C-alpha cells in the first residue's frame, strides 16, 4: 500500500513512484505513435479526416467513463472489504490472546504461537506463497501433506486445545464458549478473504472495458488531428492516461492481497498482529515493525 502525503505541485508533475504510469507506459506509447501518424496524415492530406466528427467520441467517452466508474467502485469495494476483514482478524486475535493470559506460561505461549501461525498462514495463502513453510516457523506439530487448508488446521488445533482446557477444568464452559466465539470470528475472516481472492471480477466484464477503452483511444486521434494538428497529442494522451490508468488501478484493487503497490499491506498487518500477541508473553522478543520502502508498505 502506498504511504505518501498529499502531493505537492512538483510531485503531481514528476512523481513516478506511486504512480500508475509504470503499468501503462507501453499502451501510452502505442497511442502516441498512432496520434503522430494521424497528425502527419492530416498534414500531408488535408481534409482526409474531415468526415470524422468528435461528437460521437464525446458520447462514447461519457458512457465509457460511467462504465469504468462502476467497475472501479466494485474493485475498491473488494479492497475495502479485505481491509475490514483484516481489522476483524486483529480484534479477534487480540481478544483470544487476552482471554488466555492467565494460563501457564508454556500453554499460553504455545496457543499464542498457533495464533501467529494462523495469521502468517492466511497471509501466505492469500498471496499464493508457501503456506506450510510459513506456518512451520510458528507451529511444531507437522501438518498432513494431504491437508488442503493448513491455515484452517491451525484453527482446528486451537479449538481442540480450548476444549481440552475445559475438559481438564482449567477453564469453565462459559469461558470456552467465549474462546470458540473468537475462533469462529477468525474462521469467518479466513472465509471472507478466500472468497475475495478466489472470485475475480467476471472476465467478460473486464474484457469489454479493455477493448472499448483501447478502441476509443486508438481512434480518437483521427477525430482530432484534422482540427487540432499537433495539439491533438495533448488531449489524446490525457484521455488515454486517464482511461488506461483507471483500468490498471482497478485491476490492482480487484485482488487486494497481492504484492502490488496499491494492494493491502498484508505483511505489515501480520507483523502488527504478531507484536500485539507476543507482547502478552513475558520475556518474548518482539519482531521489528515493518516500515514503508520507497513509500510502499507491503
Q: How far, in Å, CA of 74 to CA of 253, rounded? A: 9
Neighbours of 104 (CB within 10 A): 9
Count structural domains, the chain: 1
State the pLDDT confidence band at 84, using cuts at 50, 70 and 90.
very high
Neighbours of 155 (CB within 10 A): 20
158 within some domain:
yes
> Three cell numbers at 135?
506456518
- End-to-end C-alpha distance for the chain, whole angstroms: 6
Q: Are 270 and 257 in contact, with CB atoms under 8 Å apart?
A: no
266 within some domain:
yes
User: In the prediction, which pLDDT does 224 show?
Assistant: 87
State the pLDDT confidence band at 96, using cuts at 50, 70 and 90.
very high
Highest mean pLDDT among 83-92, 133-142, 206-215: 83-92
User: In the prediction, which pLDDT does 126 show?
Assistant: 94
As a whole number, mean pLDDT of residues 53-61 equals: 79
Question: Residue 207: pLDDT above 60?
Answer: yes
224 within some domain:
yes
Q: What percent of the chain has pLDDT over 90?
A: 36
State the pLDDT confidence band at 58, using cuts at 50, 70 and 90.
confident
286 within some domain:
no
| Each residue's pLDDT tens digit, 137-152 | 888 777 777 788 999 9
Which has the closest alpha carbon to 249: 20, 43, 10?
A: 20
Total count of residues recorded for the chain: 298
* Range(s) of the domain holding residue 237: 27-278
Which one is predicted more confidently, 134 or 13? 134
User: In the prediction, which pLDDT does 246 show?
Assistant: 87
Which has the closest alpha carbon to 53: 178, 199, 225?
A: 225
Q: Are 101 and 191 in contact, with CB atoms under 8 Å apart?
A: no
User: In the prediction, which pLDDT does 236 show?
Assistant: 92
Q: Are 290 and 268 in contact, with CB atoms under 8 Å apart?
A: yes
285 within some domain:
no
284 within some domain:
no
Question: Residue 28: pLDDT above 80?
Answer: yes
As a whole number, mean pLDDT of residues 263-291 equals: 87
3 within some domain:
no
Q: How far, in Å, CA of 209 to CA of 243, rounded? A: 10
User: In the prediction, which pLDDT does 3 show?
Assistant: 62
Q: Are 102 and 257 in contact, with CB atoms under 8 Å apart?
A: no
> Three cell numbers at 269?
498487518
> Furthest-apart CA pair in the chain: how many Å?
92
Residue 229 phi, psi (nearest 5) = 65, -135
| HEC letters along the chain | CECCCCCCHHHHHHCCCCCCHHHHHHHHHHHHHHHHHHHHHHHHCCCCCCCCCCHHHHHHHHHHHHHHHHHHHHHHHHHHHHHHHHHHHHHHHHHHHHHCCCCCHHHHHHHHHHHHHHHHHHHHHHCCCCHHHHHHCCCCCCCCCCCCCHHHHHHHHHHHHHHHHHHCCCCCHHHHHHHHHHHHHHHHHHHHHHHHHHCCCCHHHHHHHHHHHHHHHHHHHHHHHHHHHHHHHHHHHHHHHHHHHHHHHHHHHHCCCCCCCCCCCHHHHHHHHHHHHHCCCCCCCCCCCCCCECCECC
Q: What is the pTM of this model?
A: 0.87
Q: What percent of the chain has pLDDT over 70?
A: 92
State the pLDDT confidence band at 13, using cuts at 50, 70 and 90.
low
Which one is predicted more confidently, 16 or 264? 264
9 within some domain:
no
Amino acid at each position: 500500500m502506498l504511504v505518501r502525503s498529499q502531493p505537492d505541485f512538483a510531485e503531481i508533475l514528476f512523481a513516478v513512484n506511486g504512480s500508475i504510469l509504470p503499468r501503462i507506459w507501453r499502451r501510452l506509447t502505442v497511442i502516441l505513435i498512432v496520434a503522430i501518424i494521424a497528425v502527419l496524415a492530416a498534414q500531408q492530406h488535408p481534409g482526409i479526416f474531415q468526415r470524422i466528427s468528435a461528437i460521437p467520441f464525446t458520447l462514447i467517452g461519457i458512457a465509457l467513463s460511467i462504465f469504468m466508474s462502476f467497475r472501479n467502485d466494485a474493485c475498491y469495494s473488494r479492497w475495502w472489504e479485505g481491509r475490514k476483514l483484516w481489522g476483524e482478524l486483529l480484534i479477534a486475535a487480540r481478544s483470544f490472546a487476552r482471554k488466555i493470559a492467565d494460563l501457564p506460561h508454556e500453554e499460553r505461549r504455545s496457543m499464542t504461537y498457533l495464533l501467529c501461525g494462523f495469521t502468517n498462514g492466511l497471509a501466505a495463502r492469500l498471496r499464493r506463497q508457501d503456506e506450510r513453510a510459513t506456518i512451520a516457523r510458528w507451529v511444531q506439530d507437522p501438518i498432513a501433506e494431504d491437508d488442503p487448508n493448513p491455515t484452517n488446521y491451525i484453527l482446528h488445533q486451537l479449538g481442540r486445545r480450548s476444549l481440552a482446557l475445559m475438559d481438564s477444568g482449567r477453564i469453565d464452559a462459559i469461558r470456552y464458549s467465549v474462546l470458540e466465539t473468537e475462533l469462529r470470528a477468525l474462521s469467518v475472516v479466513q472465509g471472507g478473504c478466500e472468497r475475495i481472492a478466489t472470485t475475480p471480477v467476471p472476465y467478460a466484464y473486464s474484457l469489454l472495458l479493455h477493448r472499448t477503452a483501447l478502441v476509443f483511444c486508438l481512434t480518437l486521434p483521427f477525430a482530432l488531428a484534422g482540427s487540432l494538428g499537433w495539439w491533438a497529442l495533448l488531449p489524446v494522451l490525457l484521455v488515454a492516461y486517464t482511461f488506461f490508468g483507471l483500468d490498471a488501478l482497478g485491476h490492482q484493487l480487484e485482488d487486494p492481497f497481492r504484492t502490488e503497490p496499491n494492494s493491502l499491506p498484508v505483511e505489515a498487518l501480520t507483523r502488527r498482529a504478531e507484536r500485539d500477541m507476543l507482547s502478552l508473553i513475558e520475556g518474548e522478543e518482539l519482531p521489528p515493525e515493518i516500515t514503508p520502502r520507497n513509500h510502499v508498505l507491503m
